[in-house]
Amino acid sequence: MGKMTQEEKQKKAEEYEQYVKEVTPTHSLPMNMAKAFLVGGLICVLGQIILHVAGNYGLDTKEAGSWCSLLLIFGSVLLTGCNIYPKIGKFAGAGALVPITGFANSVAASAIEYKKEGQVFGIGCKIFTIAGPVVLYGIFSSWLLGVVYYILKIMGVFV
């Protein structure tokens, strides 16, 4: 193995760049948006059906919302395990990422993916790869808003 000259290195880098350009799939933004719109919209309709059915059973808004989250998460975890959700994600992009099913998918995917690394340091740690940041910043931002609300309340802005 001889040392590569500067010229060879550069040529190689250029060839590689060309290769990357060739194999990178080109997507048009409007098409991606349409797919995201369609799939994301359908998942929301599914949620609306659950809310509707739960309402018919006499549940209040909060309980119905909880059932809606639970069932969508259940469905998403199941589809993730069967390797179907990743395919939906590949097609729909943000349409599969933005709904709560996307959150459940990323939690389930990391739990399944890292089971080989053990119960505690595999699943136990990695299950929070996505859930951790979402819970942390969700809790923190609502806490921060809560602090503002609490102070304004003490000052008598809200009665």
Partner 1 sequence: MEYFNAFWVGGLICALVQILVDKTKMMPGRIMVLLVCTGAILSAVGLFEPLVDYAGAGASVPLIGFGNTLWKGMKEAIDANGFIGLFMGGFTSCAVGVSAALILSYIASWIFQPKMKE
Restricted to residues 66-95, the positions that interact with partner 1 (CB under 8 A) are: 66, 68-70, 72-74, 77-78, 80-83, 86, 92-95
Q: Which two tokens stand for residue 104?
A: 């459940």
Q: Does 116 bind partner 1 (CB under 8 A)?
A: yes
Instruction: For 3-40, give the secondary structure using H, E and C.
Output: CCCHHHHHHHHHHHHHHHHHHCCCCCHHHHHHHHHHHH
Alpha-carbon span 60 to 32, nearest angstrom: 37
Minimum distance of partner 1 from residue 47's CB (angstroms): 3
93 close to 36: Cβ distance less than 8 angstroms: yes
Binder of partner 1 out of 14, 58, 123, 159 (CB under 8 A): 123
Give yes or no for residue 134 binding partner 1 (CB under 8 A): yes
Does the footprint of partner 1 cover residue 129 (CB under 8 A)? yes
Query: Which residues inside 45-64 make contact with partner 1, applying CB under 8 A?
Result: 45-52
The crossing angle, in degrees rounded to 10, of helices 128-154 and 100-113 is 140
Q: Which amino acid is at 60?
A: D
Q: Please, which residue, 4 or 147, has the CB nearer to partner 1?
A: 147
Which span sits near partner 1 by CB under 8 A: 8-16, 18-26, 107-115?
107-115
Residues 5-24 that bind partner 1 (CB under 8 A): none
Number of residues that bind partner 1 (CB under 8 A): 80
Cα distances (angstroms) measured from residue 35 to each of 59, 80, 83, 101? 33, 19, 20, 16
Q: Is 32 in the site for partner 1 (CB under 8 A)?
A: yes
